[in-house]
Amino acid sequence: MITIIYPFKNRELQRIKKSLDSLVNQYNKDFSVVFVDYGSDFETAASVKELLKQYEFVKYIYSFHNNQPWSRAKAINIGLRFVETEYVFIADIDIIFNERFVDVLFGLKDKNDNVYFQVGYLDKYESAEVKCFDFYTVESTSIPEGQGLSLFKLDSLLMIGGFDEFFHFWGAEDEDIHLRLQNAGFSSRFYDDEILLLHQWHEIFEKLDNNKLTIEPILSNVFSLNKQKLRFNQKNNIVKPNTENWGKLITEKEFELLNSNQESVVLLNKKHVIENFLDIVLSKTNSEILNVTFQEAPYQLTLNYKIKKIFHLKTEEYYSLKEINDMLLKALLIYYQDYLFNYNISSDLKSIQLKIKK
């Protein structure tokens, strides 16, 4: 048997159904699915659980990463902790499988340590169609650098401590895992003999405006940050970048512990206040829950302040909430990725709340 891991958070039900229906049609039924929900909102999670009841081969895992940035690496690692088969395939909720795909996996698994597959991309209109696999029109295909859909020997992933949990949002975790496996002595092969996987269209992360504050947390220039970590791992021949606690699932009890703390300290967006919080308060506080809300100072909106700025008179200096968002997220992802935290941006975009258990 081969296990297929789906990392997931807050996507459309129809996308899930189309992908899993293509697994129902597999000629070879000797597979199971570990579906890792990385903290979808509770309404979406309930709908997903109900949908998945239709597929007896699926095991649903929910981790309470509700108010944390998306990390495909962490979601996959959680799934790896539930795998009991010798081989594991890392899937994507956007993928439609050829009905021979599992058969091909079995044919490859004893010949190579790890295999990553070429993908055919569907455009927006073709993705909306429901067809037999061979009737879809492919707009473009992936290049060898696209390594996201891969068959691995489970032991090889466990030996290097899974995917690097530094990586958040999108980018670099797939290239990194194959490079680290090569450093550990394993081989990888690009399978482009035929197109067995189709990718349903969606808006790509790179095209989102990450220079504006949005309800969904986005870190400006996160691709650059991820690439820097990728190059660091490569240059220093890093094989095991994670702590031994990798693949940790957040339980409901831990989630409720953070949310039981209702008393939030309000910090205004003055530069010296924000810098003091990041440099001293956040780094030096231990053994308690920090609950902080960041807001714009009312004085920043006054005519007096605006006049002083126009005439370059001395006045208080402020960070925008977007700048604070980027500073907080960068600190959380670099220094506090293993801590339990909740991160929320208000619906009116006028405040940011951070709860973190130190």
Instruction: For residue 311, tell me if it sits in a domain.
Output: yes
Domain boundary among 183, 210, 236: 236
Instruction: For residue 268, tell me if it sits in a domain.
Output: yes
Instruction: For the beta carbon of residue 113, count every other beta carbon within 10 angstroms.
Output: 18
Instruction: For residue 243, tell me if it sits in a domain.
Output: no
Instruction: For residue 216, tell me if it sits in a domain.
Output: yes
Across-strand partners of 199?
Answer: 95, 121
Instruction: For residue 190, tell me if it sits in a domain.
Output: yes
Q: Which pLDDT score is estimated for 352?
A: 98
> Are 175 and 288 within one domain?
no
> Are 225 and 262 within one domain?
no
Q: How many domains does the chain have?
A: 2
What is the rounded distance in angstroms from the CA atom of residue 317 to the CA atom of residue 275? Answer: 12
Instruction: For residue 241, tell me if it sits in a domain.
Output: no
Cite the beta strand spans of 164-306 per DSSP E.
188-191, 197-199, 265-268, 289-295
Give the CATH number for residue 117: 3.90.550.10
Q: What are phi and psi of 304, to 5 degrees?
A: -60, -45
Q: Give me the DSSP letters along 34-93.
A: EEEE-S--HHHHHHHHHHHTT-TTEEEEE---TTS--BHHHHHHHHHTT--SSEEEE--T
- Is the Cβ–Cβ distance between 87 and 28 less than 8 Å? no
Count Cβ neighbours within 10 Å for each residue of 123-154 and write b for 16 or more, e otherwise. Answer: eeebbeeeeebeebeeeeebeeebbbbbbbbb
Instruction: For the beta carbon of residue 196, count every other beta carbon within 10 angstroms.
Output: 23
Helix (H/G/I), strand (E/B), else coil: 1: coil
Helix (H/G/I), strand (E/B), else coil: 151: strand
> Are 231 and 280 within one domain?
no
> Are 336 and 201 within one domain?
no
Q: Which pLDDT score is estimated for 307?
A: 78
> Are 217 and 126 within one domain?
yes
Q: List the structure tokens of 240.
A: 């095991």
Domain span at residue 291 reads: 253-357
Instruction: For residue 313, tell me if it sits in a domain.
Output: yes
Instruction: For residue 53, tell me if it sits in a domain.
Output: yes
Q: Which pLDDT score is estimated for 145?
A: 72
Q: Which pLDDT score is estimated for 165?
A: 97
Give the CATH number for residue 345: 3.30.110
Which residue type, as a one-letter code, is found at position 294?
Answer: F
Taking CB atoms within 8 Å and a gap of at least 24, the contacts of 322-327 are 322/211, 322/212, 322/213, 322/220, 324/269, 324/274, 324/294, 324/352, 325/213, 325/217, 325/219, 325/352, 326/219, 326/220, 327/274, 327/278
> Are 165 and 279 within one domain?
no
Domain boundary among 206, 236, 266: 236
Domain boundary among 211, 236, 261: 236
Write down the residue that tokens 């810098």 correspond to: 275
pTM of the model: 0.94
> Are 147 and 185 within one domain?
yes
Q: What is the mean pLDDT of each run of 10 residues along the chain (358 residues)?
A: 98 97 98 99 98 98 96 98 98 97 94 88 93 93 84 96 95 94 93 96 69 90 94 97 96 92 92 97 90 93 81 86 97 94 96 95
> Are 66 and 186 within one domain?
yes
> Are 31 and 164 within one domain?
yes
> Are 90 and 116 within one domain?
yes
> Are 196 and 343 within one domain?
no
Q: Which pLDDT score is estimated for 230?
A: 97
Q: List the structure tokens of 285.
A: 């506080």
Q: Which pLDDT score is estimated for 208?
A: 58
> Are 175 and 300 within one domain?
no
